[in-house]
Chains A and B, each alone.
Chain A
Amino acid sequence: MSQTKAARHHPTTPQDDIKPWFGRKVQENLDALYGVALRLTGNHSDAEDLVADSVSKAWKAIGKLQDQGRFRPWLFRILHNHFISDYRKRSTRPVESSYCELLETDTDDSVSSYLMNQSEDFLRWWATPEQEFFNGLLRDQIMNAIDCLPDSFHITVILINVEGFSYDEAAEILGVPGGTIRSRMKRGRTLLQKALWTQAREAGIVSAETTKEK
């Protein structure tokens, strides 16, 4: 789409400003776009392609952006939708490691219901966690744990906890009600704790003996 055509459809930005404004906004969000794309696709090459394709799509659709203040969630919604439609099938996000298999995916999202089905070791640690626990975790271990989360929790935790979106913005990006985001955060974070705890035990940071003594 030409600059003139995009600007003609944009509700508030003067024609001469639309392209540099769009370019600035993309640059401001480039690290976050790449970060989300990398977590979704699981590899650098597809992440770069996904970002570039999404920015091209955003430019073509800039006339449909009703509120410049919502540019960021609008742009990320385009990226997420593009991932779902064109990239998800070939995503190389790791989901087969042993701790991933321990993450249950039933639909009951209450914390109490989830905890009722957990082992005593995990519950003991969950109820009395130690601050030192996270100091022993490496960045890759945290990222592996995030990447183990089922899709809907995975993207929600990344948008909110890693990239700092509000629940309202995350709901707009993912096209779901705000209440769904709150439920996903609650369940996703509990699942994340389980994945981290399992990894920590495998790495010897938290031992079964230690958790039983508490």
Chain B
Amino acid sequence: MTTDKHHHNDIGCLEAMEWLYAWLDGEIGEETAAEQVQYHVNHCKSCFSRAEMEKALNERLRGTTREYATEKLKKRMKKLIDSL
């Protein structure tokens, strides 16, 4: 990772890292700010690598960590809702 700015519009690695997670999650409301992060990630090898890693972690978190209600809980909830 480098702290150098590659271009006059480049926000640099540290600023990009500050916004990386919000950017990956689609949570940067301001279009210009999102474009600045994307520009940096697309032009910085190490930040691109980190962003890809974070995307991979996002997929693992979403894909393999979800829980499912137990049969015991499903029956309990049905009984509870029926009794309301």
Pair B50/A129 contact, Cβ less than 8 Å: yes
Chain B residue with the shortest CB-CB distance to A44: B70
Output the least CB separation between A98 and chain B (Å): 21
Pair B21/A185 contact, Cβ less than 8 Å: yes
In terms of DSSP, what is the predominant structure of the interface of chain A? helix
Chain A residue with the shortest CB-CB distance to B79: A52
Pair A139/B64 contact, Cβ less than 8 Å: yes
Output the least CB separation between A198 and chain B (Å): 15
Set of chain B residues within 8 Å of A111, measured between Cβ atoms: 14, 17-18
CA distance A30 to B17 in the complex (A): 35
Chain B residue with the shortest CB-CB distance to A24: B81
Q: Does B27 contact A (CB under 8 A)?
A: yes
Pair A48/B81 contact, Cβ less than 8 Å: no
The answer to whether residues A56 and B80 also contact, given A129-B53, A162-B66 and a CB cut-off of 8 A, is yes
Pair B46/A127 contact, Cβ less than 8 Å: yes
CA distance A128 to B68 in the complex (A): 35
The answer to whether residues A133 and B73 also contact, given A31-B67, A52-B80, A166-B27 and a CB cut-off of 8 A, is no
Set of chain B residues within 8 Å of A193, measured between Cβ atoms: 57
Query: Which of A26, A126, A185, A189 is the one whose CB lies under 8 Å from B81?
Result: A26
Pair B77/A55 contact, Cβ less than 8 Å: yes
* Interface residue ranges of B28-84 to A (CB < 8 Å): 46, 49-50, 52-54, 56-58, 60-62, 64-70, 72-74, 76-77, 80-81, 84
Output the least CB separation between A6 and chain B (Å): 8
Indicate the size class of the contact surface on chain B.
35 or more
The answer to whether residues A59 and B64 also contact, given A111-B18, A126-B50, A182-B22 and a CB cut-off of 8 A, is no
CA distance A90 to B52 in the complex (A): 38
CA distance A142 to B64 in the complex (A): 9
Set of chain A residues within 8 Å of B81, measured between Cβ atoms: 19, 22-23, 26-27, 55
Set of chain B residues within 8 Å of A26, measured between Cβ atoms: 77, 81
* Interface residue ranges of B1-36 to A (CB < 8 Å): 1, 14, 17-18, 20-22, 25, 27
CA distance A129 to B60 in the complex (A): 15
Set of chain A residues within 8 Å of B64, measured between Cβ atoms: 139, 142
* Interface residue ranges of A31-51 to B (CB < 8 Å): 31-35, 38-39, 44, 48, 51
Output the least CB separation between B83 and chain A (Å): 10
A-B contact pairs, 9 of them (CB 8 A): A30-B73, A30-B74, A30-B77, A34-B68, A55-B80, A146-B61, A182-B22, A182-B27, A186-B21
Which B residues fall within an 8 A CB radius of A? 1, 14, 17-18, 20-22, 25, 27, 46, 49-50, 52-54, 56-58, 60-62, 64-70, 72-74, 76-77, 80-81, 84
Apart from A22-B84, A30-B77, A31-B69, what 10 extra A-B contacts exist at CB < 8 Å? A38-B67, A51-B77, A52-B73, A52-B76, A52-B77, A56-B80, A134-B57, A161-B61, A162-B62, A186-B22
